[in-house]
Amino acid sequence: MATITTPTTEAPRGAPAAPGTPGWLRWVDEHRKWLFAAPAMAFVAALLVFPLAWTGYLSLTDAEGSVRAESEFVGLRNYLDVLSDTERFWPAVGRTATFTVVALLFEVVLGMAIALLLWRPFKGQRWVRVAILMPLVATPVAVGMMWRLIFDPNIGMANQLLGWFGIGPQPWLAGQHSALPTTIFIDVWQWTPMVVLILLAGLTSLSEEPQEAARIDGASTWQRFRHVTLPLLMPTLTVAVLLRGIDALKTFDILYATKGRGGGSFHEVETLNVYAYGLSFDYNEYGVSSTVLILFFLIIIGAMWALTARRKEAQR
């Protein structure tokens, strides 16, 4: 490969293809930028843009029963109805916010602690990492079923464990007030490892010098974490919060698998996603469900925007 060292490496981007190539190949070569990107973009756009526009349209109609049925344009009535609905919509917004914020808080704090524990190499590190990977790749529906058995009030392992410590049985998923915290626990169990992996990748890529400098200056372990490691890790932490936050907002599998339709008989785990799914596919209220979805979408975009703004600030 002596040619690499020759000074003629100026074949710039978009340079014509080598002489002697057939015409069609040359055309492909010149247009590769879009030829490569177009199929993937067309695929996503077709599955994304039209449905979103249609959902937007449906949200302005009274579509119900079947999407084929006659529906009437009702303007913003659905929006007024949904936004003044304090029985299902606003509680669902509240649960979505509670679920996301609380789960995220636990996942970030625990994730950070575990990542710090794993940071410095030790014997058996490989096996700890394997263990951390297991909840992440486990199928969420199966995970939901597994915790249903463990948290079963009568035969579940959780209450047997509590019994050994002399604590009375808890209703867990079956309780009207304990169901949401229990599903948050399951989410934390499954997704804290994700935060651990991301933060660990961030920690490993940090340079050692600032740590050493702080140590020589006599900073304590906590001071070094607070004033050296944490600021340097901030961009990674924001990525972790962003990725996890979006997915936590959209949580569906675990909630539907553990509590079923409507998020339980008192809607105790009914988040926006579960609510919208129920409206669409259990009750076929397409107009209203589209309205909820558009509002949900706006919330997600808003949350993302707030977080990326925060991220840009952190980078400055």
Partner 1 sequence: MKARPAYQVFRVVALTVVVLTLVAPLLWMISASFKTNVDIYDPGKALAFSPTMDNYAKVLQQANYVEFIVNSLWVAFAATVASLFLGVPAAYSMSRFNMKKSALVVLMARVIPGVSLLVPWYYVFSNLKMVGGFGVLIISHMFVSLPLVVYIMMGYFDSLPEELEEAALVDGLTHVGAFRRITLPLSVPGIATAGILSFIFSWNNFMFALVLSDADTKTLPVAIFDFVGYASIDWGGLMAAATVVTVPIMVIALFVQKYVVSGLTAGATKG
Dihedrals phi, psi of 54, to nearest 5 degrees: -70, -40
Nearer to partner 1, 76 or 131 (CB): 131
Minimum CB distance to partner 1, residue 86 (Å): 22
Residue number, 96 or 268, with CB nearest to partner 1:
96
Residues 74 and 62 sit within 8 Å (Cβ to Cβ): yes
Nearer to partner 1, 74 or 243 (CB): 243
13/177 with CB nearer partner 1: 13
Nearest approach, Cβ of residue 75 and partner 1 (Å): 20
User: With helix as H, strand as E and coil as C, how does the chain read?
Assistant: CHHHHCCCCCCCCCCCCCCCCCHHHHHHHHCHHHHHHHHHHHHHHHHHHHHHHHHHHHCCECCCCCCCCCCCECCCHHHHHHHCCCCCHHHHHHHHHHHHHHHHHHHHHHHHHHHHHHHCCCCCHHHHHHHHHHHHHCCHHHHHHHHHHHCCCCCCHHHHHHHHCCCCCCCHHHCCCCHHHHHHHHHHHHHHHHHHHHHHHHHHHCCCHHHHHHHHCCCCHHHHHHHHHHHHHHHHHHHHHHHHHHHHHCCCHHHHHHHCHHHCCCCCCCCHHHHHHHHHHHCCCHHHHHHHHHHHHHHHHHHHHHHHHHHHHHHC
Least separation, in Å, of the C-beta of 31 and partner 1? 10
- The pair phi, psi for residue 286, each rounded to 5°, is -65, -40
Contacts for 65 with CB less than 8 Å, ≥ 6 apart = 284
In the complex, minimum distance from the CB of residue 52 to partner 1, in angstroms, rounded to a whole number? 7
Compare residues 52 and 309 and give the one whose CB is closer to partner 1.
Answer: 52
Smallest gap from Cβ 123 to partner 1, in A, equals 10
Exposure on the CB side of residue 137, measured as CA atoms within 13 A: 7
Between 27 and 266, CB nearer to partner 1? 27
- Nearer of residues 118 and 180 to partner 1, judged by Cβ: 118
Pick the closer one to partner 1 by CB: 8 or 86: 8
